[in-house]
């Protein structure tokens, strides 16, 4: 299992229609890609981070994640929306540790 997360801030003013539209389009587009599970959009509430939002999703395995990453809808969203509208971001891909 891989938990893919990306925290980010947008170029749009907080609370704007453009901000809301980016978040809803991202959620609708990315969550519809085969293999995406448990898709969540979150708003940052701590002053300790410069990022305002997070997209998070789960994949069953590396092959499923790789298929998502190369999917035309993901690539299209990144090329047409993400690159133009995201001011900064940090991506984390996490796998659970097995206690030893």
Which residue segments constitute the domains of the chain, with CATH numbers given? 2-91 (3.30.70.100)
**pTM of the entire predicted model:** 0.92
pLDDT category at 98 given cuts 50, 70, 90 is: confident
Mean pLDDT (the chain) is 96
- 15 in the Ramachandran plot: left (φ > 0), alpha (ψ -120 to 50) or beta? left
pLDDT in tens, 22-56: 999 999 999 999 999 999 999 999 989 999 999 99
In this prediction, residue 57 carries a pLDDT of: 98
How many Å apart are CA 30 and CA 39, to the nearest integer? 8
Mean pLDDT of 2-11: 98
Burial bucket for residue 89 (CB in 10 Å: 0-12, 13-18, 19+): middle
Cα 28 to its chain centre, rounded Å, is: 11
Number of H helices, E strands in the chain: 4, 4
């Amino acid at each position: 299992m891989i938990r893919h997360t990306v925290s980010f801030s947008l170029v749009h003013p907080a609370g704007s229609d453009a901000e809301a539209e980016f978040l809803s389009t991202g959620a609708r587009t990315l969550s519809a890609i085969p293999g995406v599970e448990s898709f969540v959009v979150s708003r940052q509430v701590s002053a300790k981070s410069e990022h305002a939002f997070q997209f998070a999703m789960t994949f069953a395995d590396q092959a499923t994640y790789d298929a998502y990453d190369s999917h035309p809808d993901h690539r299209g969203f990144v090329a047409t929306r993400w690159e133009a509208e995201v001011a900064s971001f940090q991506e984390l891909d996490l796998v659970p540790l097995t206690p030893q």
